[in-house]
């Protein structure tokens, strides 16, 4: 992007929230106005708000909020399970990862200082 094409007032591709607060300057003993800018959406919410090119254009509309897939209290366990399933599917295609997973995973992780339990069906 050239400097001439840059417009600091144009909206970016990610939604942003802003809140104006009164902050205290303790050195001077007075309040001053302060604007706090923050991501208006996070994670998959931000992705659902994006428009993706080409073959990925369908993805944002197809994504469901985590609260539609499981109870809110189980969201952490649910997303961990999804991450593990993705890693498992990805690593199974890699020969080095396959040898690691076929070996003594607990011992390998312990050698690296990780206390883990590897479930074997």
**Domain definitions of the chain by residue range:** 9-63, 65-121
The SS3 assignment for 96 reads helix
* For residue 79, pLDDT beyond 70: yes
Compute the average pLDDT of residues 30-42. Answer: 76
DSSP reduced 3-state for 12: coil
pLDDT higher than 70, residue 15: no
What local confidence, expressed as pLDDT, does residue 46 receive?
65
SS3 state of residue 30: strand
Q: What is the mean pLDDT of residues 38-52?
A: 67
pLDDT band at 45 (very low <50, low <70, confident <90, very high): low
Distance between CA atoms of residues 50 and 57, nearest Å: 9
Q: What is the 3-state secondary structure (H, E, C) of 10-27?
A: CCCCCCEEEEEEEEEECC
Report pTM: 0.33
- The mean per-residue pLDDT over the stretch 60-75 comes to 75
Q: Match 């890693």 to its residue by tokens.
A: 87
Q: Specify the higher pLDDT residue, 39 or 73.
A: 73
């Amino acid at each position: 992007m050239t400097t001439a094409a840059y417009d600091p007032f144009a909206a970016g591709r990610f939604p942003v929230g802003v809140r104006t607060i009164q902050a205290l300057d303790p050195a001077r003993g007075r309040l001053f106005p302060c604007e706090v800018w923050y991501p208006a959406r996070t994670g998959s919410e931000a992705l659902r708000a994006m428009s993706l090119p080409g073959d990925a254009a369908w993805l944002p509309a197809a994504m469901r909020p985590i609260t539609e897939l499981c109870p809110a209290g189980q969201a952490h366990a649910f997303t961990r399970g999804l991450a593990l399933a993705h890693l498992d599917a990805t690593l199974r295609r890699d020969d080095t990862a396959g040898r690691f997973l076929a070996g003594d995973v607990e011992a390998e992780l312990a050698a690296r200082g990780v206390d883990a339990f590897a479930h074997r069906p």
